[in-house]
Structure formats: C-alpha cells, structure tokens
C-alpha cells in the first residue's frame, strides 16, 4: 500500500475525523469578535488576533487530553505550521499525540473576472515550491477549498469548470509531493434555495470535479473529498429534516463519487454544532461505500471558543467543551 493511501485511510479511521484549524488571521479575528458571553448572551469583543493569541487558542485545542481518540488530523494555517508548542514544532507536537498535520494551501476565493457574484480560488502560483516546504515542515496532507454560489443565474458552467480545473491541478501537485490532497468543492448554504436545488448544483459540481481529476490522472485512492451536505439554503422557507438531508446527500454521492475514494469528510458549512452532528448521524445511518466522516471547523470549535474567551483560567472548561463535542461528532460516524 502506498504511503499516500495509508495516510488517506488513517485520516478516516473508524470514529475519527479532521479538525479544521486553518483560519487565516482575518478569519480568526472574526471568530474572536463573535465570542458570546454566557451570562448575558451578548457578543463581547476583546481578543485581538496576533500570532501569540492565535497560538494560545490553538494550543488550548491541541493539548486537550484524549482528543486523539476522535481527531485523526488537523488542518493548519501557514502561520501555525511554523510555530512551536512546548518546544516542539506544531506538526511534531501533533504527531506525538498520534495526530497527522495538514496544511491549507489555497490563497482564498476571489471574484471571478466577468462573473460578478462568483468566485475562483487562487494559489496555484508557486504551489509546487510551497508544498515542498510544507512537507519538510511536517505536513502529511493538504486542503484546497473552492466556493460555488447558488443564486439567480448561478452557478455558471464557467465558474464550476474553473474551480474544478484548479482543484485537479492542486491535487496533482500534492500527489507529486507525496502529500494527500483534500479536495473541497463547497456549494454554499447562503441563499433561499431549497434542498432539490442544492442537490442539483452539488451533483453538477462533483461531476465536473471528478471529470477533471480523471483528466489529470489523479489516483482517487490517495485523496479525500471534503464536500457540503445536500442541505436547504439558510434563507429557505422550508428547512429539510436530518433524514431528508441524509437521503439527498447519499443519493447524490452514489451517483457521482467513485467508490475508489477512501473517505468523505464533510464540512459543516455554517451549521450549528448540533445540526452538523445530527445530520452526520443521519447520513451514517444510511451509509455508502466510503468512510463518512467529518472535517469540521466551527462545528467543533464554537463551544470551546465561547468557554475559553481568551482567559487562561477558562482553559479547563474550554477543553472539556471541545472534548465533549468531538466525542459527539465521533459517535455520529458509528
């Protein structure tokens, strides 16, 4: 078995999933700004994102005792992979807990020229060199996120194909460097669209992605897919139940996702921690030919972040909240 295949399978080991802790400095500041005060239910702003505060927060998460029972890998940001915890590099610190280090390598989603409300993810320039460095720093896998909007006249074929092409080129460069690529085409929840519309767009998007992956000779046994669940838009007047979401999701994936893919690690995509857990449970109750797991960011972190609130005296409570949510999400994979 190849090293990449072993890594991919380790990331979706039974009852384990991935923690997405790859927020950019700008994004983590938004998270810090939205910490809710448990006593008043009001939002409080008091934490400034700096390399030091970002590391303090992530150290609180990574050092949680027992988290390796539920977390197989952590996606890191460029800043974090270069930092140290207790005298060890962050990847080495995670490795010593039996957790694989990964790295976000895209440069974010930007406006697609001539397509006003659609995005293209950038970051292919110099990616080969960056992957070489990240491998030396300890990264075993990588992540690239593409964003697909649903709206009037959207998504266009151009936007879907442009992002599918970028995902395939990224995946090829990762496998060239012996790094497992997580392929993340996210159909956003934003908008009033219903479950059926999300299903149609998700099917169209995934078909284009796998067509491009095949064109670029990607070994599908050495990747992971990180997709959205098929779910109603946030502003839809009819919100689908967990059972309806699970049925639509599995039907879609059986139609377009090849069985060679070892695992599907769902993104939470703006769902609450409870919603993301409930929907993953329903999806696993139906099941499929792949390991069905998670690669959650906010859905794993939100409760711990609220409990922590930047205060050292809250670390124990925050870690307990993090461990409890990780345990619940892990149980959803049963």
Which runs of E-coded beta strand occur in 105-179? 109-112, 115-121, 141-148
Segments in the chain below pLDDT 50:
none
Kindly give, in sequence order, each residue whose CB lies less than 8 Å from that of residue 292, ignoring residues fewer than 6 positions away. Answer: 263, 264, 266, 280, 283, 284, 333
The alpha-carbon radius of gyration of the chain (Å, integer) is 19
As a whole number of angstroms, the distance between CA 128 and CA 226 comes to 22
What CATH number has the domain bearing residue 150? Answer: 3.20.20.70
Q: What is the structure's pLDDT at 45?
A: 59
Residue with tokens 């060239």, as numbered in its chain: 176
Q: 172-182 b/e with 16+ CB inside 10 Å = b?
A: bbbbebebbbb
Q: Work out whether strand 84-85 and strand 88-89 pair parallel, antiparallel, or are unpaired.
A: antiparallel
As a whole number of angstroms, the distance between CA 225 and CA 245 comes to 18
Long-range contact list for 254-258, CB < 8 A, 24+ apart?
Answer: 254/288, 254/289, 255/203, 256/203, 256/206, 256/207, 256/210, 257/206, 257/210, 257/225, 257/290, 258/210, 258/220
Q: What is the structure's pLDDT at 41?
A: 63
As a whole number of angstroms, the distance between CA 102 and CA 142 comes to 5
Q: What is the structure's pLDDT at 38?
A: 59
pTM for the model stands at: 0.95
* CA-CA-CA-CA torsion sign (277, 280, 286, 290): negative
**Across the strands, what pairs with 171?**
none
Instruction: Give me the number of domains the chain comprises.
Output: 1
Residues in the chain, total: 334
Kindly give, in sequence order, each residue whose CB lies less than 8 Å from that of residue 241, ignoring residues fewer than 6 positions away. Answer: none
Backbone phi and psi for residue 151, each to the nearest 5 degrees, phi listed first: -175, -170
**Across the strands, what pairs with 299?**
none
Residue range(s) defining the domain that contains residue 40? 3-332
As a whole number of angstroms, the distance between CA 325 and CA 306 comes to 13
- Residue 23 Cα to chain centre, angstroms: 10
As a whole number of angstroms, the distance between CA 75 and CA 102 comes to 4
**Across the strands, what pairs with 183?**
144, 225
Q: What is the structure's pLDDT at 258?
A: 98
Residues belonging to the active site: 184, 226
């Amino acid at each position: 078995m190849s090293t990449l295949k072993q890594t991919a399978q380790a990331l979706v080991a039974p009852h384990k999933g991935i923690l997405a802790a790859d927020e950019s400095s700008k994004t983590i500041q938004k998270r810090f700004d939205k910490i809710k005060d448990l006593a008043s239910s009001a939002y409080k702003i008091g934490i400034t994102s700096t390399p030091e505060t970002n590391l303090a927060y992530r150290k609180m998460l990574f050092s949680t005792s027992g988290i390796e029972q539920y977390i197989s890998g952590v996606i890191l940001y460029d800043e974090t992979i270069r930092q140290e915890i207790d005298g060890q590099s962050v990847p080495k610190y995670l490795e010593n807990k039996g957790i694989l280090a990964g790295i976000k390598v895209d440069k974010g989603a930007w406006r697609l020229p001539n397509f006003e409300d659609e995005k293209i993810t950038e970051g292919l320039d110099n990616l080969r060199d960056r992957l070489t460095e990240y491998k030396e720093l300890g990264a075993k896998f990588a992540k690239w996120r593409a964003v697909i909007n649903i709206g009037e006249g959207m998504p266009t074929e151009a936007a879907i194909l442009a992002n599918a092409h970028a995902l395939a080129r990224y995946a090829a460069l990762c496998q060239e460097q012996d790094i497992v690529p997580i392929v993340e085409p996210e159909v956003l929840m934003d908008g009033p669209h219903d479950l059926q519309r999300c299903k149609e767009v998700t099917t169209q998007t995934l078909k284009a992605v796998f067509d491009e992956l095949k064109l670029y000779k990607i070994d599908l046994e050495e990747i992971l897919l990180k997709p959205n669940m098929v779910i109603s838009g946030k502003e839809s007047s009819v919100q689908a139940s967990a059972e309806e979401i699970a049925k639509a999701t599995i039907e879609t994936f059986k139609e377009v996702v090849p069985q060679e893919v070892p695992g599907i690690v769902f993104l939470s995509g703006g769902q609450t921690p409870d919603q993301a857990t409930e929907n993953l449970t329903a999806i696993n109750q139906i099941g499929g030919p792949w390991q069905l797991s998670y690669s959650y960011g906010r859905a794993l972190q939100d409760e711990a972040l609220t409990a922590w609130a930047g205060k050292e005296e809250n670390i124990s409570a925050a870690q307990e909240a993090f461990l409890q949510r990780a345990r619940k999400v892990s149980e959803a994979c049963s």
